[in-house]
Chains A and B, each alone.
Chain A
C-alpha cells in the first residue's frame, strides 16, 4: 500500500526519530511511504485553545495535501482525533460546504499508527526486538476519542525480548492536555505527580505511548526527578531490531 505519512508539526520539529521509526516499520512490512512536503500542522493547538477561525486554513491545507492519499498515517492519536472528531465541527464553523465534503471524504482514510497496523493491516507482529522492561500509558485521545483499545498492547506483546509491565490507573490522564499544561500549570502538575509515581512504581526502564506530547510531559518530569526511567514513542519500539540492540 502507498501510505502518506502525516508526521505532525510537533514530531517533525522535536521528535524526528519517531517519524523515522514509522517509516522503518511501514517499509519493513512492505509498504511504500510518501511524505508530502506541503504538510504543516492539523490545527489542533489552535482549535482546542479556542482559536478556531485560525485553524480553518490549516484544515484546508491538510485536506488539500492528503486528498489523494490511499491512507494517511500519523504517530499521534491527538492529531488524528483532531481530524476525525473536530474537523467536522471546524467545517461547520467555516460554513464552507465544499470543505465539509472534502473532510468527510478524507476522514475514513486517516489513521493513528497502532490502529492502522492492527485494524487496517491486520498486523500485530512487526518483527521488532526490544529487550527492555516497558510500561504502556494509553493516552486519552487514543483511548477515548480514537478508541484504539488494546491495539498498541497487541503490537507490544509481539515484540521479542520485551518485558511488558502493567501501569496502575493507566487510563487516567497525565495532565498534559496541550495548552492546559501551561494555562493550568498547577493542576497539570498535580495530575502529573500521580502519573509519575505510578510509572516509577512499575519498575520499568521505559514508559511508552502513542503520543509524544504526553510523553514529553511524563518524560520531562522523569528527567527532572532523575528517576532513571525514559520515555520512548511506541513507533520507536516497533522499529527496533536485533541489529539496533547490538549496535
Chain B
C-alpha cells in the first residue's frame, strides 16, 4: 500500500475507483462525445478574442487581489447587501449553512423549495439536510434534475449529467415523470422537463440559488445560466436564499466586465450567457420580498493559508479544465469521489476536505498541463498538484513515525535518493539495474505479478536494455 492509500483510509482512493469507470463503455462513449464537442467549441469561442491572454491576466489579478483582502471585501459586501434590504448570514461550515437555510424555510412554514444550480449546495449536502427536515427540494437545472430523478450525483461542474446520454434520459423521464411515448429528441426531452418544472416554479414560495459572483461595492449577486431556470428561481418565489462561498466576492461592478467575458467562453463556449441575472437586496413590488445571502467558509480560510494551494480559490467554476483533461475525459467525475471533480477538484477538494480525506486526488493527473493552458484565471493546476503531493507525503512521513518510514514506497524513494546523491553510488545502481534487470523483467512481466513493474508490463514491453550506459561509453570513447 502506498502512502496516499494509507492516509485516505475511509474514502476509496481515485486509483481504486477509476477502473470501474474506465470499464464502463457507455460512460466512456458519453464522455468522449461530450468533452470532445465542448473542447472544440471552447477553442473556437476563445480563438475569436484577440485579447484573451490579457483577459486571463486581468481575471487572475482581480481574483488574487480580492483573496488577499478577502476580509475587507466580505464586510463591504455585507454592508451593501443589508443596505439594499437583504440579510447576510455567515456559515463556518456546511452544517451551519444548511441549518441557516432550513431555519429560514421553517420560519415561513414552507415544506418545499425550488433550487437553481449550486455546486456549493452539493458541497454542503443541502438537499439531504432539507430532506431530513421534511423539506422537498426540486432541482430546476435540467441536468441537475436528471441527476436528482436518477438518485445519482453530479459528475461534472457545469454539465452534472454528462455521464448520461439522451437515450438514458428518455428512459429516466418516462419512468420518473410519467410521460409515456417520449422521444429522445433534445427538444422533446427539454419540453417534458419544462412542463414538470413550470408547475413547481409557480407553486413554490422559496427559491434557492448559488452565485457566480457577488459584488462588494454594490451588494449585487450575479448568476449566469443557459436555461432560464435561474431567472425563474430568482424572481418568482417570495423568499430568495443565495448560498455562496466566500471566494465568490468581487470588489467592484466593473470587475464583472472581465469575468462575464471569461466565464461564458470558457464554460459553455458562448460569447455571452443566455441569461445573466443580477439582484441587489430586495426591490419593492418586483421579485422576492425577502433576500438572504448565506456566505460559506467551509475550509476556504484554511486554504488561504497555503501560499501555493490558495490559487484554487480563484476558480470561477467554468469547468474548462475538466473538458480538456485527458484523465477526466476518460474516467468521468464519479471516480474523484468529490463534488468538484477533474483537475480543479484534484486541488480544491483535498484542501477543503483535508489532505487525509482526499489525499489520492493530487495524483489523479499525468501533469500534462492542459488544464493550466485553458484556465481563464490562470490557476497553475500542475504546480498546485505537485505542491499538494509534497504536502501529503511530508505530512504522512512526519505524522506516522516508524510506520510511515517503513512504507514500501517511502523506503524505495529514500534508497533511490541516497543512491542518486553520489556519482559512484549512482553508477553502482545503474550496473545493478542493467545486470539484474533481465531476470527481474521476466518475473515482473509474468501474469499475476505485483508492483510497479507488473503494472507497467501489463500492456507494454520494456525497452531493450543497452549493453553500456552513456557514461561508460563516454569513458571508453572520449
Q: Are A16 and B363 in contact (CB under 8 A)?
A: no
Among candidates A145, A176, A182, residue contacting B452 with C-beta atoms closer than 8 Å: A182
Q: A184 vs B366: C-alpha distance in the bound complex, in angstroms?
A: 9
A31 to chain B, nearest CB (A): 15
Q: A12 vs B468: C-alpha distance in the bound complex, in angstroms?
A: 9
> How many pairs, one residue from A and one from B, have CB atoms within 8 Å of each other in the complex?
192
Q: Are B417 and A57 in contact (CB under 8 A)?
A: yes
Segment among A105-113, A157-165, A215-223 that sits at the interface with chain B: A215-223
Segment among B145-153, B218-226, B249-257, B385-393 that sits at the interface with chain A: B385-393
Please, what's the 1-or-0 string for B426-454, where 1 marks a CB less than 8 Å from any CB in chain A? 10001001100000000000000000100
Q: Are A189 and B383 in contact (CB under 8 A)?
A: no
Query: Does A170 touch B at the CB level, under 8 Å?
Result: no
Among candidates B22, B370, B455, B468, residue contacting A190 with C-beta atoms closer than 8 Å: B22
Q: Are A89 and B383 in contact (CB under 8 A)?
A: yes
Q: A108 vs B167: C-alpha distance in the bound complex, in angstroms?
A: 55
Q: Chain B's interface: helix, strand, loop or mixed, by majority?
A: helix
B53 to chain A, nearest CB (A): 13
| Residues A2-23 near B (CB distance < 8 A) | 7, 9, 11-17, 19-20
Contacts of B326 in A (CB 8 A): 172-173, 175, 191
Q: Are B426 and A19 in contact (CB under 8 A)?
A: no
Q: A115 vs B389: C-alpha distance in the bound complex, in angstroms?
A: 30
Q: A215 vs B478: C-alpha distance in the bound complex, in angstroms?
A: 28
Q: Are B370 and A9 in contact (CB under 8 A)?
A: no
Contacts of B365 in A (CB 8 A): 177, 180
Q: Are B413 and A46 in contact (CB under 8 A)?
A: yes
Query: Does B159 touch A at the CB level, under 8 Å?
Result: no
Q: A52 vs B398: C-alpha distance in the bound complex, in angstroms?
A: 13
Q: Are B417 and A54 in contact (CB under 8 A)?
A: yes
Q: Are B463 and A216 in contact (CB under 8 A)?
A: yes
Query: Does A185 touch B at the CB level, under 8 Å?
Result: yes
Among candidates A13, A143, A186, A224, residue contacting B18 with C-beta atoms closer than 8 Å: A186
Query: Does B466 touch A at the CB level, under 8 Å?
Result: yes
Contacts of A16 in B (CB 8 A): 466, 468-470, 472-473
Q: A192 vs B461: C-alpha distance in the bound complex, in angstroms?
A: 13
Q: Are A13 and B366 in contact (CB under 8 A)?
A: no
Query: Does A40 touch B at the CB level, under 8 Å?
Result: yes
Q: A191 vs B460: C-alpha distance in the bound complex, in angstroms?
A: 13
Q: Are A50 and B417 in contact (CB under 8 A)?
A: no
Contacts of B472 in A (CB 8 A): 16
Q: Are B456 and A181 in contact (CB under 8 A)?
A: yes
Q: A242 vs B409: C-alpha distance in the bound complex, in angstroms?
A: 47
Query: Does A198 touch B at the CB level, under 8 Å?
Result: no
Q: Are B421 and A191 in contact (CB under 8 A)?
A: no
Interface centre among B19, B363, B368, B465 (most CB of A within 10 A): B368
Q: Are B469 and A50 in contact (CB under 8 A)?
A: no
Interface centre among B2, B365, B382 (most CB of A within 10 A): B382
Among candidates A40, A48, A58, A184, residue contacting B15 with C-beta atoms closer than 8 Å: A184
Contacts of B196 in A (CB 8 A): none
Among candidates B331, B367, B470, residue contacting A12 with C-beta atoms closer than 8 Å: B470
Q: Are B466 and A187 in contact (CB under 8 A)?
A: no
Query: Does B330 touch A at the CB level, under 8 Å?
Result: yes
B275 to chain A, nearest CB (A): 33
Among candidates A51, A185, A186, residue contacting B417 with C-beta atoms closer than 8 Å: A51
Q: Are B460 and A144 in contact (CB under 8 A)?
A: no
Contacts of B368 in A (CB 8 A): 140, 144, 172-173, 177
Contacts of A180 in B (CB 8 A): 363, 365-367
Contacts of A132 in B (CB 8 A): none
Q: Chain A's interface: helix, strand, loop or mixed, by majority?
A: helix
Q: A17 vs B468: C-alpha distance in the bound complex, in angstroms?
A: 10
| Residues A81-114 near B (CB distance < 8 A) | 85-86, 89, 93
Among candidates A39, A52, A61, A217, residue contacting B390 with C-beta atoms closer than 8 Å: A52
Interface size of B as a range: 35 or more
Q: A86 vs B391: C-alpha distance in the bound complex, in angstroms?
A: 15
Query: Does A131 touch B at the CB level, under 8 Å?
Result: no
Query: Does A188 touch B at the CB level, under 8 Å?
Result: yes
Query: Does A137 touch B at the CB level, under 8 Å?
Result: no
Q: A43 vs B369: C-alpha distance in the bound complex, in angstroms?
A: 19
Query: Does B276 touch A at the CB level, under 8 Å?
Result: no
Contacts of A144 in B (CB 8 A): 368-370, 372-373
Interface centre among A93, A144, A172, A190 (most CB of B within 10 A): A190
Q: Are B18 and A184 in contact (CB under 8 A)?
A: yes
Query: Does A38 touch B at the CB level, under 8 Å?
Result: yes
A134 to chain B, nearest CB (A): 19
Query: Does A183 touch B at the CB level, under 8 Å?
Result: yes
Contacts of A7 in B (CB 8 A): 470-471
Q: Are B308 and A89 in contact (CB under 8 A)?
A: yes
Query: Does A28 touch B at the CB level, under 8 Å?
Result: no
| Residues B128-183 near A (CB distance < 8 A) | none
Q: Are B470 and A191 in contact (CB under 8 A)?
A: no
Q: A17 vs B462: C-alpha distance in the bound complex, in angstroms?
A: 16
Query: Does B100 touch A at the CB level, under 8 Å?
Result: no
Contacts of A51 in B (CB 8 A): 393, 410, 413-414, 417
Q: List 6 A-B contacts (CB under 8 A).
A: A19-B473, A50-B394, A51-B393, A187-B18, A188-B366, A191-B326
Q: Which residues of A contact B (CB under 8 A)?
A: 7, 9, 11-17, 19-20, 35, 37-41, 43, 45-55, 57-58, 61, 85-86, 89, 93, 140-141, 143-145, 171-173, 175-192, 216-217, 219-221, 223-224
- Since A37-B423, A46-B416, A173-B366 are in contact, a sample of 18 more A-B pairs with Cβ atoms closer than 8 Å, ordered by chain A residue number, is A13-B433, A19-B474, A20-B473, A35-B471, A45-B416, A50-B362, A51-B413, A51-B414, A58-B417, A140-B366, A140-B367, A140-B368, A140-B369, A140-B370, A144-B373, A180-B367, A185-B458, A190-B22
Q: Which residues of B contact A (CB under 8 A)?
A: 2-4, 14-15, 18-19, 22, 308, 326-327, 330-331, 362-370, 372-373, 382-383, 386-387, 389-394, 410, 413-414, 416-417, 420-423, 426, 430, 433-434, 452, 455-456, 458-463, 465-466, 468-474, 478
